[in-house]
Structure 1
């Protein structure tokens, strides 16, 4: 093209005629191809010779007449390709941003919903209209009674009482030693206490895993579809647990009692544990199935 332009500039343009027809021109978004077609189109009234119908180019296997609609169609095609490319780049980014925004919105909404539900539960407890007789039923082995009854049970009950708006003197934690009715069958009392409680806490130890009545309490809790919190009093290997306990241990987070020089402490702390217990009392579906605890602290 440069050579022909120089020739045209040095020659009388009325005497110069150049035939560039019937050549394999390509119409595309490539800058070189576009420049070629534009150059031919620009010089159609000067030195470009031969019938104009012989100047054609291919655009995506379609033949176009260079002196008719080739430039217009090519430009339209290139604009469409640019739009597709921009959409291909921007849509995933926009989609990810929208997804992140949606996740954040759902998280915030869920957090606020849990706050409202927790506040409602606390109000029910304070006003004495809580639908269950107890917030939690604490199941433990008789061998662990000293630790559970003298240390864990009173602290758990007092911490739950403090979680209400103004505090309550109502007993919120049920235990077999204190609430089983004398003269009644143990199996019947286990079922009654589990039914009267919103959440079941299993104080798990090696002795607990070996006791028949403890296994019955675990099975009854599981059969009633109650939310369960595992509180490990000591390290227990999975093969020492029963089938149901092992299944719960592998699937859900648990709390632990840690011995120390001050008599021991619970992990996570009492506030987190009690908030989780209150959250678990709320029905989440029409069939009244209670959600499970996820303390997000300890997974083994």
Structure 2
């Protein structure tokens, strides 16, 4: 049985549980239960605070864990990064009152900065030769300048709306963060085998994200031109039809270029274009 530590609530919880669900690993969370077993996969989920996850994995309380890169870097626990998961993206930034003039990193010399990430901030300021007073806060860091507790903040930024609401402006991005899958360095062979199976499922789900399966009928004399505009995984599938002058072409398109490519296909004579969502894709 493999044990994974997962944040007990918030966006990272939602994104992680969605990934497990899409990988057909069934988990039924309960508000009263911290440890829940999957009903169809050798996995149990341990629900923890985000800042407890790195230590739990490093100490072997959990075999693996999903944690924000920002929290992993802050805690500096002896666990290894297994995979970047690509969701729950944010950034850690310095922000100051919007009425202040920002002249560069030297602005923070002698300033009091409120943060929940003192280790990351201290290392950054040291690398820039800036001495500042770091005030550690757990909770609503963004209100600190408004109540006179600090001159600036160093905190997580996603959309930036919280900064705007508190009359702050982002002036320096220190690091970008996303969800990481981390692992205990002493994991046994049996648990590594379960992990390998789980990662295979994760890869299939993530490969399908943002992609569509496209089928169309096309005149045979246009096949070469059509296939040249199709960015297929290897090459599109071409199937003969009852009408010998026509064929069916199947391929996978990324949503980012979908409408651009569909327009070109119609210009080249493609008809009956059918678009389907992709649940999983094995590469």
TM-score category, normalised to shorter length: under 0.3
Flag the structure with larger Rg: 1
Question: Larger % of helix: which?
Answer: 1
TM-score in terms of structure 2 length: 0.22
Question: Larger % of strand: which?
Answer: 2
TM-score in terms of structure 1 length: 0.21
- RCO greater where, 1 or 2, for CA within 8 Å and sep 6 or more? 2
